[in-house]
Structure 1
Amino acid sequence: MDKTLLLVDVDCGVDDAQALMVAFAAPHVEILGITCCHGNTTLENVCRNVLRVLKTCNRLEIPVYGGASKPLLANTLHASFYHGVDGLGDAADSTAPDIGLLQKEHAVLAMIRIVNEYSGKVSVVATGPLTNLALAVNMDPTFPQKIKSLFIMGGNMESRGNTTVCGEFNFACDPEAAYIVLNGFDCPTHIATWEFTCKNELPWEFYHEWISQKTEKAEFMRKISAHAERFIKSCAKDKGEEWTRGFVSCDSYAMAAAIDDTFVTDSMNCAVGVELSGTLTRGMMVLDTLGMLQRKHKVFVMTKCDTEKLKFLLIKALQ
């Protein structure tokens, strides 16, 4: 089997860590680089978190690059309420790798270089704000044409927000970047939206079995996930049982789609846009199901997936 070549762009919180570990466990996947972006926490924390995940999985040979530390124009947002101040549940490890292990090359320059070296062969998986990708296409307008496929976790399809009234976190972090990417990238694009992940949640019984595996990786996952689990339970108490319907590893859905082309079982194919000006809707992804935007490029918005395959990938990730 030919190797699946990936370039992964993250704002490494708990679910980014889960997505990375899913990719590491897939024998046919080769990660050419991990680029870091602001988002769930500060850029420095994101970089440290990626190195912590790599050390846990014995994959420190994978190069890690620091990128955008703030949005293009928007105010900076972080998600410490869910991921903890450090981005990995405030479960700090005193033996975490030294930040000096980061590559000196900037993430955006590394993206452009890697895609040029493997033109047409690399899929990009973006699980955070799209600032690095927006900067890449602004620096090199041919960048999207050299990508095999783009997989995004972000945006929404039913105007349901998780950060603002109508905004999903990754897009709300940098609406201008999301706008640039969805308007400027013409490669095959697959989007795992917030609502899609929620509608394909996994049972909590599976989650507890998953993190109870007797391995170092499972122990790592138990520690970094505890803060998020407490947050979800507190939300359920305040906001209702809908908040505890199931376990959702948002970023793992985009990663699963990138490494297994049978994972997504149904999707919508349409043009999309991002609202930048609305008082209540800034950062919201808009689906042009009627073709009124008259855009040639259409994306695949995931709607259904094989959750049993996701379970399998997650189990393998912690073995």
Structure 2
Amino acid sequence: MSKKLLLIDVDCGVDDAQAIMVALAAPGAEILGITCCFGNTTLENVCKNVLQVLTVCNRTKIPVFSGASVSLLGEPAPVCTHFGQDGLGGKADADATILNLLEKEHAVNALIRIATEHAGEVSLVATGPLTNLALAVRMDPTLPQKLKNLYIMGGNMEGKGNRAICAEFNFVVDPEAAYIVLEDFTCPTYIATWDFVCRNQLPWGFFDQLVKQDTKKAEFIKKIISDCPAFSREEQLSAKDVNFGPGFASYDSYAMAAALDESFVTEYLECEATVELSGKLTRGMMVLDLTHRLKKKGKVFLMKECNIENFKKLLMAALQTMCREKKP
């Protein structure tokens, strides 16, 4: 079986960390690089968090690249405490020397170079604001044609939002970047929206089983989630208000699962989509066109239904001891 080649673009919070660990544990998957973007926390914290995850998993040879620190319009990075100030529930490694492991090449250049070196073979998984991707396609308009496909966690289908009334966090913190990506990336594009994830949350009983595994990876996830506001077992305000209810949602892992396992998503909605840029209440909202009025070159595939049991298996496997992991 040929390897599944991955490029991963993250704003590494708790859920990005889980998604990276899912990819690390997946048989036949090879991560060619991880690019970092501002989002859940500052760019410096994002880079440190990715390197901390790779250290926990004994996979620090995977190259990590620093990218965009602000949105395309240069607006200040938003204050986000959803996953704690540091993105890892207040449990991030405070030792800045870990940044010595960063590659010197900029993330945007790395995205273009790696996609070019493996033209037609790379699945790009983007789990944060899409700033790096937008910059990359502006530098190299042929980038989308070099990718096998693109998987995104972000946007919304139902006009409900978490960061804003009508918009999801990853899109609303850089709407222009999200707009550019949906306009210019004509490769097959699959999107795990916020509302899709919320409708497919996992019971807390499963989470308890997940972190009870006797591995340092399970201990790590349990630690970074323990004081994290996003994983409170009480009904979160945003979820309660839109009738999603309580549950455990490893947001970014849904996009990663779709990239790794073609049988994970059982139903897609195929349509044209764009991002609202000027609406007073709707800026950053993903707008769906089911009637082809936008006359766009490409469509997106929005995840609607998924195989939850397959998803559970991927999450469980991510925290198991692998042959390359040395327990302390």
TM interval, shorter chain, is over 0.9
What SS class does the counterpart of residue 49 from structure 2 fall into?
A: helix
Q: Which residue of 2 is the match for residue 249 of structure 1?
A: 250
Of 125-134 and 285-294, deviating more is 285-294
- State the Cα distance separating 1:237 from its structure 2 match: 7.8
Q: Give, in whole Å, the separation in 2 of the partners of 1:291 and 1:243.
A: 30
Please say if 1:76 is aligned against 2:70: no
Q: Which residue of 2 is the match for residue 26 of structure 1?
A: 26
* 1:74/1:304 CA distance change after superposition, 3 Å: farther
Partner amino acid for 2:123? S
Asked if the contact 2:235/2:246 (under 8 Å) is kept, the reply is no
Q: Which residue of 2 is the match for residue 277 of structure 1?
A: 278
Q: Give, in whole Å, the separation in 1 of the partners of 2:230 and 2:122.
A: 37
Q: Which residue of 2 is the match for residue 91 of structure 1?
A: 91
Count of aligned pairs between the two proteins: 319
Q: Which residue of 1 is the match for residue 288 of structure 2?
A: 287
Q: Give, in whole Å, the separation in 2 of the partners of 1:156 and 1:243.
A: 14
Which runs of at least 4 in structure 1 moved beyond 2 Å after TM superposition? 74-81, 92-97, 227-245
Q: Which residue of 2 is the match for residue 9 of structure 1?
A: 9
Pairs within 5 Å for 1:58-207: 58-73=58-73, 75-78=75-78, 80-93=80-93, 98-207=98-207
Asked if the contact 1:80/1:86 (under 8 Å) is kept, the reply is no
Q: Give, in whole Å, the separation in 1 of the partners of 2:254 and 2:231.
A: 21
Asked if the contact 2:69/2:77 (under 8 Å) is kept, the reply is no
**Uncovered stretches (5+) of structure 1, i.e. residues with no partner:** none
What SS class does the counterpart of residue 227 from structure 2 fall into?
A: helix
Q: Give, in whole Å, the separation in 2 of the partners of 1:7 and 1:67.
A: 14
Asked if the contact 2:90/2:228 (under 8 Å) is kept, the reply is no
* TM-score, normalisation: structure 2: 0.93
Please say if 1:262 is aligned against 2:271: no
Partner amino acid for 1:274? V
**Uncovered stretches (5+) of structure 2, i.e. residues with no partner:** 321-328
Asked if the contact 2:144/2:187 (under 8 Å) is kept, the reply is yes
- State the Cα distance separating 1:27 from its structure 2 match: 1.8
What SS class does the counterpart of residue 132 from structure 1 fall into?
A: helix
Q: Which residue of 1 is the match for residue 319 of structure 2?
A: 318
Q: Which residue of 2 is the match for residue 226 of structure 1?
A: 226
* 1:57/1:184 CA distance change after superposition, 3 Å: same
* 1:79/1:25 CA distance change after superposition, 3 Å: farther
Asked if the contact 2:25/2:317 (under 8 Å) is kept, the reply is yes
Q: Give, in whole Å, the separation in 1 of the partners of 2:287 and 2:127.
A: 19
Asked if the contact 1:264/1:306 (under 8 Å) is kept, the reply is yes
Asked if the contact 1:189/1:300 (under 8 Å) is kept, the reply is yes
Asked if the contact 2:239/2:246 (under 8 Å) is kept, the reply is no
Asked if the contact 1:263/1:306 (under 8 Å) is kept, the reply is yes
Q: Give, in whole Å, the separation in 1 of the partners of 2:108 and 2:302.
A: 26
- State the Cα distance separating 1:144 from its structure 2 match: 0.6
- State the Cα distance separating 1:80 from its structure 2 match: 3.5
Partner amino acid for 2:161? G
Task: Please report the RMSD computed on the Cα atoms of aligned residues, expressed in angstroms.
Answer: 1.8
